[in-house]
Structures are given as structure tokens and as C-alpha cells.
Amino acid sequence: MLGMCRGRRKFLAASLALLFIPALTWLYLSVGSFQVKPLPLSPLDALSSTPVGGAGERQALELRVRVVEEENRALRRELSRPPRSPSARLPSSDHRGNQSRTHSEEGTGDNESQKAVAVGNSSDCIRQPVVDKCETIHVAIVCAGYNASRDVVTLVKSVLFHRRNPLHFHFITDSIAQQILSSLFHTWMVPAVRVNFYDADELKSEVSWIPNKHYSGIYGLMKLVLTKTLPSDLQRVIVLDTDITFATDIAELWAVFHKFKGQQVLGLVENQSDWYLGNLWKNHRPWPALGRGFNTGVILLLLDRLRKLRWEQMWRLTAERELMSMLSTSLADQDIFNAVIKQNPFLVHQLPCFWNVQLSDHTRSEKCYKDVSDLKVIHWNSPKKLRVKNKHVEFFRNLYLTFLEYDGNLLRRELFGCPSEADHNSENLQKTLSELDEDDPCYEFRRERFTVHRTHLYFLHYEYEPSSDNTDVTLVAQLSMDRLQMLEAICKHWEGPISLALYLSDAEAQQFLRYAQGSEVLMSRGNVGYHIVYKEGQFYPVNLLRNVAMRQVNTPYMFLSDIDFLPMYSLYEYLRKSVVQLDMANTKKALVVPAFETLRYRLSYPKSKAELLSQLDMGTLFTFRYHVWTKGHAPTNFAKWRTATTPYRVQWEADFEPYVMVRRDSPEYDRRFVGFGWNKVAHIMELDAQQMQSAARLHSQASTLACLQSRPFTS
């Protein structure tokens, strides 16, 4: 607690210094719900109530020692508790609109959790209902598609940042979101966090009969079927939209369940727009609602009671009745929730509006709070997001951006004092790391091979179906922030699918997103998969990045390249034809693509083999790494290539590192190689060890690569 509770904190801190001083004064402390009795001012006070003489004095001293020991134990218990969030302050009761009831008025049934004892002048400091620190908080989120999967990460970060309890996320997802989020949480490895997925496709039939005009589509109706979807033994859950940002510990919201009375089964905040009042425009006709209605961006669901009330039948009958006149929903599940509540007001426990401050145009959100420091949950419930009209929008924007770019690796915090539910992989990893010798000069290098990098697959929308002739080829590469400028050029040169692994920080990932969304070239391509591998450690995990990109290839073949290389304009179609000509489906072959480089920043890209040969002869182009590492590409036999018009076989030699097209089932790169040097060499060596024939398929329009960097790129 801050503000009016600061005096108490200073008092507790000062009390620590008194524990080891002969008690000449008395302490009066509040320790949770435990009230400590005052100590005597001096031994004389104790003697005054005991018989005179040595025995009485001894009894008084013994009594005093026991009291002091009990006092110390109580204080230690208090100090062992985790510190409370600075934002966990109770609102005053004079600026909450119709949600301004005091804490004692709202939670009279939860007496134990609300006991507080005054200290000095801090009598106005009232404690929130307490949630056991090891109690698991359950959160349900409907998330479908690439964009929603990216947006929900910001919500999760804000929850993890403030939380002090174990969390169990229940995601209702389509196949796309499940692939992305399962990979993300698996590599995130946040302690005391469990994740379950529920197939949204299996639920579509439950709500597909409801016409819906909302931009969320059919997924915007799936909160209605959570009682049927979530485990039958799950009694309560917090349901959140993906565009939510928490500014406090979610345990505070979980504690509100204790305030439900009677038949209350839904915890909701009043809608802060005038939508359900029907006065936004002429002939505006909303669904029926109680007053202003309720917003379903944040919901507390008592699942066990809802099931007993036959919630499924209740909302279905209501929806069928209202659709006869309304024809469709405008706000998806929110319309149906409100129609049910209109008929059954007793179902709702109205939450204070700071639990869902709704930031969209035409809202009363500013009336919900007196100071932005009082806020609990921000709801960006508008497609316009950060462009809403609100006098505090700059504060909200900064809060949102803070979590958007926050380093997610810092959220891997242990919850001390709670039973660990570490999975088998995590336990094995910790055991392996503990066996490494920290005094080894190569400790950091050896540790890198076991580092689990948080990975967000398909950071942008991806849409591509492989061709039916089984000849399709995906270009595979990896890059960091300083190579973003190559993306547009590669997309212009290669029209086929591309799989890219980007090594970025959380902040750089957002810079990349803005860069991509501002590029007409990149936005016009749906067949490029961007996979973010988040930075961690001091080494560049080049082969790990390549493996991440390779695993997301969904074509039969892949062209293993590097981001600094531009393929000839027709290389994609040329490689597909070579698949058939070389019978690569039935033989183990690697098709070598000769590589060249230029020392110029500007170059007229060769349009044919004849033009390429001319530039080689003039010294405008060179065979790749000709000046610094000839051995790397010498086995390609460029002398033979100049005149060849038919395929020829090349022999593997030490240090050979060509760029090749191989089948998708080819071996991955050895991730022990990090940073600069030998990473591709080792991979080519393994291909040769697995008896893969290397072939160079060349004719008058031979495959060529040209590096447009003035500094030759080496990998």
C-alpha cells in the first residue's frame, strides 16, 4: 500500500530495530488478521499485577519472555509474506460513480480476510480479501488466428508481471493459435504456469446458428459455452478478452469471488458506452439490457453454480427469442449475456468499474476513476486501439507499450514457498545445467546449447497451400535486426514460400512489426512465415535459428540460404523443375546453387548466365568468398560451371559450405555451433556422411546467387 499507508510501513521497519533491545516500550502491531497485544511499559508494570517477591518477579519475567517470543514469531510470519503490489490500493468511496461502495459494504461476508488493526493514524488503511499465495488462479481466453495470438501475449505479460500466485490458462483456440501459443509457452518456461487448449472448431456448431455482425466473428460467441468446454471439476474462472492490460495483481480480482451472494454467478462491470441506451444515432436499436448493460471483456464465472442453473438452456432460449426480432447480434456474446441478465438480474455481481476501464470512443470511462493510479484493468475494446479519445490516453498508451516491449525472459520468476509442478523437460534441463562446471572458461559457451529460447512462430499472418505436384520449395534463412532491409529485395526475387527465423528482443520485435506493416511488398506476401526467436545469452544461436525456420517448412523441399543473398529471379521455378529432372523424390541428392558476391552497393542484377559471366570477367562479380576463403566453395568447380549445360556431380571436400536445396526430411543443423564459423560446414559434412549425392544442375539460365553487401557475408 502507498499513500495513506506509508506510515505503517515505516513503523514496521522501525520495529525491527527494537526486537533486540530490552523492551522498555510497548509495540502495537497488525499482522494479517493476527492482533498482537501491547507489551508492558516496564518490568514494574508486570510486577504490579503479581505477588511480591522473587517468585513473582520470575513469573513476570517468564511471562514477558513468552510474550516477546510470540511477538517476534508473529512479525516474522508477516515479513515472510511476499510484498504487496504498490497498485493494490483500495479506491476511496467518493469517485467511483455507481461503483463507489466501500470495501466493508461489498464484502461483509468475508470477515476473516478483512480484519485490520489500526497503527497510529493509519486507521483508514483497510486490507483487501486475501488469496492464499499457493492458490491457483484460472484464466480463460478465446484466441483465434495469427493477430490475436500476437495480441494476447501483451495481456499475458501484464498478468505475469504482477502475479504472485500459480496460474492456469485455458485457451479456446483454432489450430493456428494453438500451434503458436503451445510453442510459445513451451519455450517460455515460466514457473508455476500451466496451459490447456480447447479446440474451438469442435465448438463452432454450438454457436454457428447465431448470426453475428461483430468483427470477432464466430469466436466472439464462444464465451457462452465455457461451462460446457472447461473441465467439469473447475468451479470458477476469470474470462478475459485478448485486448486487456492488467495494472495490478490478478489475485485481487480472483478474491472478488468471495463477495458473491445468493444466486450471483456472473461478475461484470457496467458498460461504459451508451450503446445499450440506444441513443447513439437515429433508429439505433440495441439488444435488451439492464440499464447501461454490462461489458463482457472481463467476466468472473462461477462455473459450478452456472451448471446447476442450466446455463446452456438459459442463454439458448434467450438468444432464440431475441433473434426473432433482432435477427443478429451486434456485439457477439455481450448481447446475449445482457439479454439473459435483463430477465434475471439476480445473476450479476456488479464489479467496480476500475476492473474493466473500457477505452473506446463514446464511453464514460473517465468517470470510472479519479486518478489513473487507481486503475486495475485497461480494456482496449476498439479496433482503433491507441487512437481512442480519452484525456489520459497517453498514460494508457505508455502502459500498454511497456508490456508490449517488456522482456518476457524477465518473467521467468520462481514462486517461492509453493509446491513446484515443474515438467519433466524443465527438471532435466535444470539437472543438466547443474552438472556444468562454472569454473570452466567455456562455461557460457557450453551452457548456450541448453538454453531454451522463447519462440513465437508465425508472428505475422501466414497463408499458403503447397502445390499438389509435390515439387514446391521453401527458401529458409535467418536474420537479426540489422538485416531487415534485405527482406523486401528477397521477396521481389523469390515468389515462392519463405520461412524466416528472426533473432530479436521484445522491443525489436515490435519495430519489425511496424516495419513489415508499413511495407507494401511484405504485406502483399502471405506466404512468408516470420518466426521470432527472442534474444537470450551472449551468443548468436545461428544454427538454432536455422532449425526453427526449417521446422516450419510445409513444402517437400527447402532451399537453405542466407539472408544476405539474392536468388536469380527465376530460381524458384527452376528449382521446382530440377526436382523432377533429378528425381529428388526417390534419391538422396543436394542440389548446389553456385554463389557469387559483389563489393558494390549498387549493381545491375545479371539477367542471364551470359551476363553473369561478363560481370565475372570484368571484376564486377566474384565467386563467393574468393578473396578470403576459397576452400568454402571451391568444390563447386566454377571452372567447369562456366561451360556446363548439363548436371554434373561434385565431390565433398573439407570446409565445403555451399547453399543447397534438399528434401524437407534432411538433418537439422548442429545447434552447438553459435556465433561465427563452421556452422554450415558441419551441416554439409553431415549431409555427405548420410550419402547424399551433391549435384549442380546448370544450363544457359543457370542458378545464380549474388550478395549485394559490400562486405562479404560469412556464416
| Beta bridge partners of residue 593, listed in sequence order | 659
In this prediction, residue 696 carries a pLDDT of 47
Residue 219 has pLDDT above 90, yes or no: yes
% residues pLDDT > 90 (the chain): 50
pLDDT at 677 over 80: no
The predicted structure's pLDDT at residue 426: 66
| DSSP secondary structure code for residue 366 in this structure | G
Task: Give the least confident one: 259-268, 296-305, 695-704.
Answer: 695-704
Residues whose CB falls within 8 Å of the CB of residue 571, separated by 6 or more in sequence, listed in order: 493, 494, 559, 593, 703, 704
| pLDDT grade for 572, boundaries at 50, 70 and 90 | very high
Average pLDDT, the chain: 79
Angle at 654 between CA 648 and CA 657, to 5 degrees: 65
Tens of pLDDT, residue by residue over 407-455, are 999 999 888 888 766 555 666 777 777 777 787 788 788 888 888 999 9
Sequence-separated (6 or more) residues with CB below 8 Å from residue 555: 466, 472, 473, 474, 496, 497, 664
Q: C-alpha 438: how far from its chain's center?
A: 31
User: Smallest Cα–Cα separation from 502: which of 471, 480, 523, 529?
Assistant: 480
Residue 390: its pLDDT value, please?
62
Query: 703 and 658 in contact (C-beta within 8 Å)?
Result: no
Note the pLDDT tens digit of each residue in 608-666: 888 999 999 998 888 888 778 888 898 998 989 998 887 788 888 888 999 999 999 99
Q: What is the pLDDT of residues 104-143, one digit of tens each?
A: 334 433 433 333 333 333 334 445 557 898 999 999 999 9
Which residue's entry shows cell 517460455?
A: 188
